[in-house]
């Protein structure tokens, strides 16, 4: 089987889709599957990844968007001429040119959907205030509607659809995709052998609470900052570490300064994956106060680093965290529940130990072998 992976991002970019694209490419190569990959990049790079030994074509992001799409299309066309299947990571940046190339060349087209891109853009750019569930049944401005229609059309046209949670399967069905086309394949957690080799970040002092995500409005990072004064009254040794970058970054910096919490809160820009795991291993509790999550891969990584987890009871989160068994679930942006959960885990070591132990059992459902085998089966039709 010959596969072209059409991705929007790829390391050194951070984020789940970048990590996933590299991981599956590596694993396909191990199984003697011919792989090439195309992605967007901040700069042109060598056509071959020296470590991975498969062809990578990078399309520079800084070009005018129409030229960028055309460049992506023509480069993907060249890669796909001799492939069996085009596997796109997302509906627009990668999916739109990928569906066009696939149909012109008569190739199989599979797409992975990890969220609702139209809703994300609506929240970030066009003033959408509704939750992802509410968004599915309401009408919006022309730009948001246009993105949603393109997304829906690309997904409905796919030969097969892969998604990482039952929650997202329901969303995709609502777009009109046939249920038999939709395959739920859970993302894999990190390899424990990889995690064990990483040393914890030195010079991290205090009872560290950590969160990591792209700094989008729905990630609720400002709420974590706002509850810190109350938490510090209970435990002056608390320190909040936020790792990530994004459109909310400047707002969070200003809030930290206004609350005079520069010593108690550390905001760290995006870091290499291994360094993020080193920060995790130096921390005690991982918090993801998110209003939207397809399937939280970052939580799988936190659990692998022996962190106790607090997250929200939304979207795909309950498919990873069972409340009271391997973590605590709270309402999104509920400050009272967040503070109570943090103080409970901080004060009760036995509960933290229980959650860490039970998380090891949960992680058995999210193995690389399981994910890759199911993905290959889905692609090879």
All residues at 6 or more sequence positions from 213 whose CB lies less than 8 Å from its CB, including other chains = 219, 221, 244, 288, 290, 298
What CATH number corresponds to the domain at position 132?
3.40.50.2000
Question: Within a 10 A sphere around the Cβ of 153, how many other Cβ atoms?
Answer: 15
Return the closest-CA partner of residue 163 out of 319, 330, 52, 286. Answer: 319
> Which position has the token pair 């885990």?
345
- Cα separation, 7 vs 41, in Å, equals 10
Tell me the per-residue pLDDT of 230-281, one tens digit each, with 9 for 90 and over: 999 999 999 999 999 999 999 999 999 999 999 999 999 878 888 999 999 9
Tell me the per-residue pLDDT of 146-184, one tens digit each, with 9 for 90 and over: 999 999 999 999 999 999 999 999 999 999 999 999 999
Residues in the chain: 381
User: What confidence score (pLDDT) does residue 53 get?
Assistant: 75
- Kindly state the average pLDDT of the residues 43-69: 74
- Kindly state the average pLDDT of the residues 36-55: 72
Same domain, 13 and 42: yes
Answer whether 0.95 is exceeded by the pTM. Answer: no
Same domain, 180 and 213: no
Instruction: Specify whether the CB–CB gap between 200 and 278 falls below 8 A.
Output: yes
- 58: helix, coil or strand? strand
How many alpha carbons lie under 13 Å from residue 216 in its C-beta half-sphere?
19
DSSP class of residue 140?
Answer: -
Question: Within a 10 A sphere around the Cβ of 138, how many other Cβ atoms?
Answer: 8
Phi, psi of 107 (to 5 degrees): -100, 155
Band of residue 70 on the pLDDT scale cut at 50, 70, 90: very high
* Residue 112, token pair as written in the block: 């992975």
What percentage of the chain carries pLDDT values higher than 90?
A: 80
Same domain, 166 and 226: no
DSSP 254-287: HHHHHTT-TTTEEEE----HHHHHHHHHT-SEEE
Same domain, 32 and 169: yes
Question: Within a 10 A sphere around the Cβ of 235, how many other Cβ atoms?
Answer: 13
Average pLDDT, the chain: 93
Is pLDDT at 48 greater than 50 in this prediction?
A: no
Same domain, 124 and 237: no
Same domain, 346 and 207: yes
What percentage of the chain carries pLDDT values higher than 70?
A: 97
Is pLDDT at 189 greater than 90 in this prediction?
A: no
Is pLDDT at 42 greater than 90 in this prediction?
A: no
* Residue 104, token pair as written in the block: 């012109």
Is pLDDT at 51 greater than 70 in this prediction?
A: no
Helix or strand run (H / E) with residue 241:
strand 238-243
User: What confidence score (pLDDT) does residue 190 get?
Assistant: 84
- Kindly state the average pLDDT of the residues 63-91: 93
Same domain, 197 and 303: yes
- 96: helix, coil or strand? helix
- Domain boundaries, position 341: 192-363
Helix or strand run (H / E) with residue 73:
helix 65-80
Same domain, 354 and 205: yes
Same domain, 293 and 180: no
Tell me the per-residue pLDDT of 289-304, one tens digit each, with 9 for 90 and over: 999 988 888 999 999 9
Tell me the per-residue pLDDT of 104-139, one tens digit each, with 9 for 90 and over: 999 999 999 999 999 999 998 999 999 999 999 999
Same domain, 246 and 179: no
Return the closest-CA partner of residue 105 out of 136, 138, 142, 78. Answer: 78
Same domain, 167 and 208: no
- Cα separation, 169 vs 161, in Å, equals 9
Same domain, 219 and 166: no
Q: How many domains does the chain have?
A: 2
User: What confidence score (pLDDT) does residue 212 get?
Assistant: 95
Is pLDDT at 308 greater than 90 in this prediction?
A: yes
Return the closest-CA partner of residue 275 out of 238, 241, 231. Answer: 241
User: What confidence score (pLDDT) does residue 168 get?
Assistant: 96
């Amino acid at each position: 089987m010959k596969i072209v992976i059409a991705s929007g991002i790829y390391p050194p970019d951070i984020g789940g889709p970048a990590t996933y694209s590299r991981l599956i490419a590596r694993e396909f190569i191990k199984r003697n599957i011919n792989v090439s990959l195309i992605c967007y990049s901040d700069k042109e790079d060598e056509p071959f990844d020296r470590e991975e030994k498969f062809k990578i074509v990078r399309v520079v992001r800084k070009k005018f968007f129409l030229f960028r799409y055309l460049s992506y299309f023509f480069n993907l066309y060249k890669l796909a001429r001799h492939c069996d299947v085009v596997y796109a990571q997302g509906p627009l940046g990668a999916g739109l040119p990928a569906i066009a190339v696939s149909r012109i060349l008569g190739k199989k087209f599979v797409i992975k959907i990890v969220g609702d891109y139209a809703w994300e853009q609506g929240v970030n750019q066009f003033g959408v205030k509704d939750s992802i569930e509410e968004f599915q049944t309401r009408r919006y401005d022309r730009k948001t509607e246009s993105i949603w229609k393109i997304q829906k059309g690309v997904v409905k046209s796919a030969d097969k659809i892969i998604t990482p949670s039952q929650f997202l399967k329901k969303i995709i069905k609502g777009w009109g995709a046939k249920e038999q086309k939709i395959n739920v394949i859970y993302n894999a957690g990190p390899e424990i052998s990889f995690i064990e080799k990483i040393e914890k970040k030195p010079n991290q002092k205090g009872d560290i609470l950590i969160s990591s995500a792209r700094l989008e409005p729905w990630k609720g990072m400002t709420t974590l900052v706002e509850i810190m004064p109350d938490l510090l009254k209970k435990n002056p040794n608390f320190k909040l570490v936020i790792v990530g970058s994004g459109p909310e970054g400047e707002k969070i910096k200003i809030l930290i300064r206004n609350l005079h919490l520069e010593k108690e809160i550390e905001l760290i820009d995006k870091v290499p994956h291994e360094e993020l795991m080193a920060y995790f291993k130096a921390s005690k509790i991982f918090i993801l106060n998110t209003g939207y999550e397809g399937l939280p891969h970052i939580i799988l990584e936190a659990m692998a680093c022996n962190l106790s987890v607090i997250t929200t009871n939304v979207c795909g989160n309950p498919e990873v965290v069972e409340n009271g068994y391997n973590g605590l679930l709270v309402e999104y942006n509920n400050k009272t529940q967040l503070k109570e959960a943090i103080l409970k885990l901080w004060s009760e070591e036995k509960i933290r130990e229980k959650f860490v132990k039970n998380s090891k059992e949960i992680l058995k459902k999210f193995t690389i072998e399981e994910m890759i085998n199911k993905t290959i089966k889905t692609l090879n039709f």
